[in-house]
Amino acid sequence: MRSKGFDGMVCSIAGVMAALGDRWGVLILRDLVVGLRRYDELRQSSGITNATLSDRLKHLETNGLVERRRYQMNPERFEYLLTPSGKEVAALMPVLAQIGDKLEVTGASAPPMTFVNRNTGAEVRWTFIDQATGEPVSADDLAIKEGPGADDLVRWRLSQGEQHRRQT
């Protein structure tokens, strides 16, 4: 039987995925990054059903990524804003978009969105930076090693990966 959650898994990636919930959570976060705030805007942007949108917004709020704020009393209406934690997770949006653009997954002739520095207007690109040299690092040059919070499963996963790399 497959588990429905990531409870008890010592993995930062699984933790973020659990906080997001599913693909709809990612798209809601995308829309919040774009600047949409209101329920109807989120619904129109994604084409998500009312029941699913309501559920995912509650999930994102429960997980501390989104905050609900009333903007109208009668009838009562709310808008949704990224929390500081939500803004941290939202840093994934340009990475996902730029990878999608590189892989040409949209079928569009050019990137549908670009990410720019709000202060300068210059395009922003994601990259890995070597903290010792300040130089960019390619994905091929990345390695993963055990961190201080690693458990037995993390250590096993890393050792298996290392064994496979040595075999190739």
Mean pLDDT of 64-68: 98
pLDDT-based confidence at 35, cuts 50/70/90? very high
Q: pTM value? A: 0.86
Backbone phi and psi for residue 135, each to the nearest 5 degrees, phi listed first: -85, 150
Interatomic CA distance for residues 161 and 36, integer angstroms: 41
Give the model confidence (pLDDT) of 119-166 as tens digits: 999 999 999 999 999 999 998 899 899 999 999 999 999 999 999 988
Q: To the nearest 10°, report the CA torsion of 133, 134, 140, 143.
A: 60
Interatomic CA distance for residues 167 and 87, integer angstroms: 40
Interatomic CA distance for residues 155 and 10, integer angstroms: 11
Domains in the chain, CATH or no CATH each: 12-126 (1.10.10.10), 128-167 (no CATH)
pLDDT higher than 80, residue 34: yes
* Cβ–Cβ under 8 Å, residues 21 and 59: yes
Residues in the chain, total = 168
Distance (Å) of CA 100 to CA 27, 48, 115: 14, 21, 13
